[in-house]
Amino acid sequence: FGAKVTVLEAAPRLAMNEDAEISAAVQKIFDEDGITVHTGATATRTHKDAQGAITVEFETAQGNERITGSHLLVAVGRTPNTDMLNLAAAGVETDEHGYVKVNERLQTAQPHIFALGDVKGGPQFTHVSYDDYRIVAGNLLEGAERTTEGRILPYTAFIDPQLAHVGLHEREARDAGYEIRTAKLPMSHVARAVEMNETRGLMKATVDATTERILGATVLGVDGGEVMSVLQVAMIGGVTASQLRDGMLAHPLLSESLNNLFAKLS
């Protein structure tokens, strides 16, 4: 929209939860789009002058700096307002951050009281809240035995192009003791991305070396969330990497790239 954008990121790199090569690719895209990024930055002071200009003072490893602009967006997380509920009177426990403690059935310390959605902490996504609802509703209304165990977490950051991920990152899979193989494919090798003139980014998948089950995947690219969802369905159904490599997928869809992605497995 013609605005000059500066990002102050407290972490050492952008998208800190992602694998390092994904983070580097996001940084490259931001650079290409003219977005200035300061990592390892700590804001120390903000003030607005009589004309409405906002100045932010901050510190980095390079020293003290300041920027001035017309708008300031602060995105530093959320604090639950459970302190207003007097939960202790009902025997409902919270953690040190104020989130309600629950078990895998989303029961609190009082088995007849459930908590779902953002109030219980963890990933704060709409789809997580809705899945929580399915668990609680199934257990209360249908006599089901639904839990949070084993559910696969997807998410999409709607930058341009999208950053989408599902399941385990490579480092998480290694930490969990898996023997893994990985597959990577630049979006410049995706026919549909070339046709859409958006070839920035890459795809990456982490696979169990023994079973060929997909453990996790990241898609940084045009409509990345849609491609990630195909991979999530494959994970839910136990489809292996070689099955996706050898499956016939319609040309010229973005999901066709999964043939080539898993051909790169190493």
Q: String of b and e for 167-193 (b: at least 16 CB within 10 Å)?
A: bbbbeebeeeebebbbbbbbbeebebb
Active site residue ranges: 251
Separation between Cα atoms, residue 226 and residue 204, nearest integer Å: 15
